[in-house]
Amino acid sequence: MSENPLHLLMNPKSVAVAGASNTPTKMGSIQSLSLLKDGYQGKVYFLHPKDKSIFGIPTYPSPKDLPDVPDLAFLIVPINVALNLLEEFGKIGTKRAIVVTAGFKETGEEGAHLENKLNEVAARYGIRFVGPNCLGVINSQICLNTTVYPFPPSDGLLGLASQSGTYVTQILPLSRKRGIKFSKAISLGNEANIDIADALEYLGDDEQTKAVILYIEGIRNGKKFLEIARKVSRRKPVLAQYVGGTVSGARAGMSHTGAMAGPDFLYDGMFKQAGIIRVGSIEELYDHGWTLATQPVPRGNRVGVMTNSGGPSSSISHTCDLAGLSVPRYSKKLQEQIRPYLQPHAASSNPVDLTFDTSMKHLAITIPEIIIKSGEVDALISHGIMHSGFLKEIYSHAVDFLGNITFEEFLSMTEPVLTDVFTLARNHKVPHLISTFFGQEDSYTKGFQEHNVPVFHSPEKAARAMGALYHYKLIRQRKAGKKATLPKINPGAIKILQQAGKNGQKALDEHAAKKLLAAYGVPVTKEILTESLKEALAAANKLGYPVALKACHWEIMHKSGKGLIALNIENAKTLKKAFLDIRQAAGFFTPVLVQQMLSGGRELLAGMTRFAGFGPGVVFGLGGVFTEALRDTTLRLAPLTDADAQEMLNDIHAKALLDKFRGMPAVDKEKMIRILQTVGNISLLHPEIAEIDLNPIIIQKARPVVADALVVLKD
């Protein structure tokens, strides 16, 4: 694989800026000041057609007049100027650019045409660029900041790639208040050239970055993204927020960055397949990302909870349960060790609640150390560790009785900040999260943040972040799975599809669809296609009653509720009536399929549909009459490994139905896994197939059997 284009773009030794002026409130000037003021040590050149200097630095009229070939061109200019300048930079040999300029694909057809021109120029000279319609990049390692907000030097650990410039720029003041420090941040804009998959690959390889967060409005190349994400998530945590899965979200994304969104269930399945943790809000994206960047992976899901109040302890415990964590009751031995440090009314069982104890030593140091050393927990959440913030609140009431001393004098009368707490859990390689209602005005809050211990301003948020940390542990434990080996194309399947093509069919009839499936080893019902009542009676005798009758014609793609199916036919008399009723309901001559009547208390579904940029997606879920009502399905992209298919079985809400259930044996999961893998293989072997729908798959005793099948062909 060739070197990622972001390696040079994020580490330029020289930058040429076009679009700055001596007016410090204009966009180009603001971003240039970030480049100049935040510690970047490389060369900075300014281009300007008229001004001789900008911020006291001499300017150059065009790229050809520069004394050196810059590594990076930084364009904050009108559209036509951007096109011309990119060509000029190409001619002198510059290979990387950031195009901040907006007005391209996100504005419609004309803008898309201009964006194509931008790419044509870039391709002509071998230029790779971020944007257009972006807000720049940050590399804390070399103090490179090309955004509109200041970024003071910091040793960041969290990598960010965003299709929104706001979440790289406007978020910076808030992230500082919350102690979150970025290693690298990339505003991708319209992704005309460098896309989010490139950014993920770069951040995945970056040693400084310990976790990666992604803000996504749409992915154009799902196959590339999935391949890269699967590799990165094995090495470090990857989290994503996707907002294009609703009608409104997709519309906003299209007008914002020109992102082509896809349905929510597609992204949900792809993220799971890739080992990406999906979050529900931008706040969780940063908070959970920072937690995973700074904290060790827990050994298990047991959480010790330490608080100075009953309410937060209950909130944390409740949310831990919802997040798949456990707040176990401590052993009698451990409780006896804790009890001497508690007041008589305080709880020692977990959570440990030090209500009304304002001394921090037991809450912050003594009891947590006992709990950690016991080995009875895998992680720790603390609420209520506080000092100067709390004392400032009570100072105004107490000062009149203390001789009007200053707050600093009042502070000196109290116990000092116990700095050992900031590294206590890390020294034992145990994750530790903090809940508090104080900000950086409190010395403990500030101390935790300075030592990269995540601080949350609600108990529930701390517990949910711990849940994300445990989720990543489960992702790391996943089996890699065996890569699916595509079988040889079956000649019988080719014949079926070619004949349908000659006939001008838009779909296969059910019988032909099942013959195609059977050619690749998918278990289907025993059945006989008939064209007369006499043939139907003979078929039923051969198969044995009870049987099912179905109209069988490619134009009849959906039969339920239309009088085109008759089930549980026990004898010839009933069959005759059903046969004639189906013919009448069809309204035209149609063959009738006589099918063995399967008995089974469980019905599942499998299928395939194609998504632009992603290829075929394989679907599995609860089938039969409850399919549309419950919508209990999950999706993965083909080809499926055996581990992918196994995870699909475990992913539906009704997964208990696959095990022993109410006297029924466990479903043969190996056979179900093979069905799912085969559906994916068929879609890859036969690109002329647009959709596959196997519903229901009836579980006969333990064996899954396809009872109905629809194969839709591409136009």
Cβ-contact 288, 277 below 8 angstroms: yes
Buried/exposed code over 643-672 (b: 16+ C-beta within 10 A; e: otherwise)? ebbbbbbebbeeeebbeeeeeeeebbbebb
Long-range pairs, 497-504, Cβ under 8 A, ≥24: 497/686, 497/688, 497/689, 497/713, 500/554, 500/713, 501/688, 501/713, 503/554
pLDDT at 237 over 90: yes
Give strand pairing partners of 160: 185, 213
Mean pLDDT score of the chain: 93
More confident residue, 256 or 215: 215
pLDDT tens-place string over residues 408-457 = 988 888 889 999 999 999 999 999 999 999 999 999 999 999 999 999 99
As a whole number, mean pLDDT of residues 634-662 equals 95
Measured in degrees and rounded to the nearest 5, phi and psi for residue 429 equal: 60, 45
pLDDT at residue 250, as a whole number: 43
pLDDT tens-place string over residues 102-155 = 888 888 888 889 999 999 999 999 999 999 999 999 999 999 999 999 998 888
pLDDT tens-place string over residues 394-416 = 888 888 888 889 999 888 888 89
| pTM score | 0.93
C-alpha span between 53 and 42 (Å, rounded) = 18
pLDDT at 509 over 70: yes
pLDDT at residue 259, as a whole number: 43
pLDDT band, residue 246 (cuts 50/70/90): low
- Residue among 127, 130, 16, 118 nearest 63 (CA): 16
As a whole number, mean pLDDT of residues 235-242 equals 98
As a whole number, mean pLDDT of residues 526-550 equals 97
The residues, ordered by sequence, that sit 6+ positions from 318 with a Cβ below 8 Å of its Cβ are none
As a whole number, mean pLDDT of residues 28-54 equals 95
C-alpha span between 305 and 371 (Å, rounded) = 10
pLDDT at residue 256, as a whole number: 40
pLDDT tens-place string over residues 171-198 = 999 999 999 999 999 999 999 999 999 9
pLDDT tens-place string over residues 367-394 = 999 999 999 999 999 999 999 999 999 8
Measured in degrees and rounded to the nearest 5, phi and psi for residue 435 equal: -115, 130
Share of the chain above pLDDT 90, in %: 85
DSSP state, residue 667:
P
The residues, ordered by sequence, that sit 6+ positions from 308 with a Cβ below 8 Å of its Cβ are 353, 354, 355, 357, 358, 363, 383, 384, 385
CA distances 492 to 249, 485, 489, 521, Å, are 44, 20, 9, 12
pLDDT at residue 2, as a whole number: 67
The H or E element containing residue 96 is strand 96-99
pLDDT tens-place string over residues 579-638 = 999 999 998 999 999 999 998 889 999 999 999 999 999 999 999 876 777 789 999 999
pLDDT at 700 over 70: yes
pLDDT at residue 62, as a whole number: 96
Domains and CATH numbers, the chain: 1-134 (3.40.50.720), 154-294 (3.40.50.261), 296-476 (3.40.50.261)
Cβ-contact 441, 388 below 8 angstroms: yes
